[in-house]
Amino acid sequence: MRYSLALLLLLGLAVAQQVELGAGGYVTRRPTDIIDPPPTISRSGWEGPAPTNRWWSSLLWTAFSETLYAGPLSFQARPDGLAFGYPRLMVDEEGFAMPFIDDITVGLEHFAAEAARVTRFDDWTVTARWEAAEDE
């Protein structure tokens, strides 16, 4: 009986507990269907700590970038160049979203990069270089 009670208590700890709080609530553990974030974010060729809280940070850990919101415009680094867009807020009864809709892309004809890499940055700006494949 004592062992059954201990096992039951341990099983309760392994399951996420939902805590009610006013009209909302929260869980005490991450749900099992959620993928853990990587313990470190790094890439070859980068020296020093990588800022993860800048509007352009996704240039550091993806081949190109997520949407870069540098108001009033938004940008996306892509294989064919830098896409510019004006953020459009979409709101309905389900929630809100601000998807990237490109209005213009600036790039080079007949050039497809393998990656856009940060070469330098400061408090106000970031410089990225589009890297070509070895055979281009």
Listed as ranges, residues in the chain with pLDDT below 70 are 1-16, 40-44, 134-136
The predicted pLDDT at position 8 comes to: 44
- β-bridge mates for residue 130, sequence order: 116
The predicted pLDDT at position 2 comes to: 53
The predicted pLDDT at position 9 comes to: 44
CA distance linking residue 53 with residue 71, whole number of Å: 16
The predicted pLDDT at position 135 comes to: 60
The predicted pLDDT at position 18 comes to: 86
- Mapped onto helix, strand or coil, the DSSP state of residue 25 is strand
Q: Domain-by-domain residue ranges, the chain?
A: 58-131
C-beta of residue 120 within 8 angstroms of C-beta of residue 128 = no
Amino acid at position 32, single letter: T
